[in-house]
Amino acid sequence: MTAWVLGLVLAAYAPQQAGSALLDPPREARVQALGKQLRCPMCQGLSIADSNSSAARAQMDKVRELVAAGKTDQQIRDYFTSRYGEWALLEPPASGMNLLVWLLPLALLVGGGLAIARTMRRPAVVASVPASKPEDRPPADDPYLEAVRAELRR
C-alpha cells in the first residue's frame, strides 16, 4: 500500500512532455471545451484540461488528434466513454439511472413548492376556542368541580 501511494506521489515527477501543437483558434477552443468535460484519470475531480499530469496531457493530445481528424464532439466523448466508461465524463448524461439523479431534486422542488402553495391558499384557521356543547359541560353540582373551586377560593 505504501509503495502504491509512493508510486502515485512519484507520478508527479514523471518527465513532463509538452502537449501536441495547438490547432487553429476555433478548433483549439473545441479541444479545450471538450477537455473541460473529461475527467483526469490520475487526479481528484479535475478535468484533463485543468490537470498537469502526464496522463491528462496524453488524453488532451488524443482530443486534439480526434478534433483534427474531423470527429464530432459526441464521437470524441464516445471514444473516451468506450474506454473509461461514463466515469470519464465530469457531467454524466441525463439518461438511464443518471436520470434519477437529475430528476429527483427537480421532483422534490416541484413537490415542495406545490405543498407550500397549497398550504398558503388554505384559509387561515382562527385561533379560537370552539364553543363546547352543552352536553360536554360538567353538571353544576359536580362534587369534584366544587372541590376544585373550594380549593381555589382558599
Question: Given candidates 27, 72, 87, 94, which one binds other proteins under the rule CB under 8 A?
Answer: 87
* Binding of other proteins by 11 (CB under 8 A): yes
Alpha carbon of residue 149 to chain centroid: 64
**Contact residue for other proteins among 55, 68, 89, 90 (CB under 8 A):** 55
**59 part of the interface to other proteins, by CB under 8 A:** yes
Q: Alpha-carbon distance 80 to 49, whole Å?
A: 14
* Part of the chain binding other proteins (CB under 8 A), chosen from 15-23, 29-37, 121-129, 140-148: 15-23
Closest to other proteins by CB, 5 or 131: 5
Check binding of 70 to other proteins (CB under 8 A): no
> Least separation, in Å, of the C-beta of 14 and other proteins?
5
Q: Can you tell me the distance from the alpha carbon of 95 to that of 80, in angstroms, rounded to the nearest whole number?
A: 18
**Which is closer to other proteins, CB of 17 or CB of 149?**
17
Binder among 22, 50, 72, 85 for other proteins (CB under 8 A): 85
Residues near other proteins (CB under 8 A) = 3-4, 6-8, 10-11, 13-15, 17, 20, 41-42, 54-55, 58-59, 61-62, 65, 79, 81-85, 87, 97, 100-101, 104, 107-108, 111
